[in-house]
Amino acid sequence: MLLLAAEGQPDIEEMKRSSKEATKSFILHLQTSAEQISKIARGLIPEGAKVLTHSYSSTVLRTFIDASREGKEFEVFCTESRPICEGFQLAKKLSEHHIKVRLQVDCAAAYVMKDVDLVLVGADCVTPYGLVSKVGTYGLAVSAKERGINSMPFAVRKNCSEPEWPRNIVS
Query: Cα dihedral angle (151, 68, 105, 143), rounded to 10 degrees?
Result: -10
Based on the residue annotation, tell me whether 124 is a catalytic residue of this protein: yes
Cβ neighbours of residue 164 closer than 8 Å, sequence gap 6 or more: none
> What type of residue is 156?
V
CA nearest 106: which of 46, 44, 53?
A: 53
Tell me which of 11, 66, 106, 124 is the catalytic residue. 124
Q: Hey, which residues are catalytic here?
A: 124
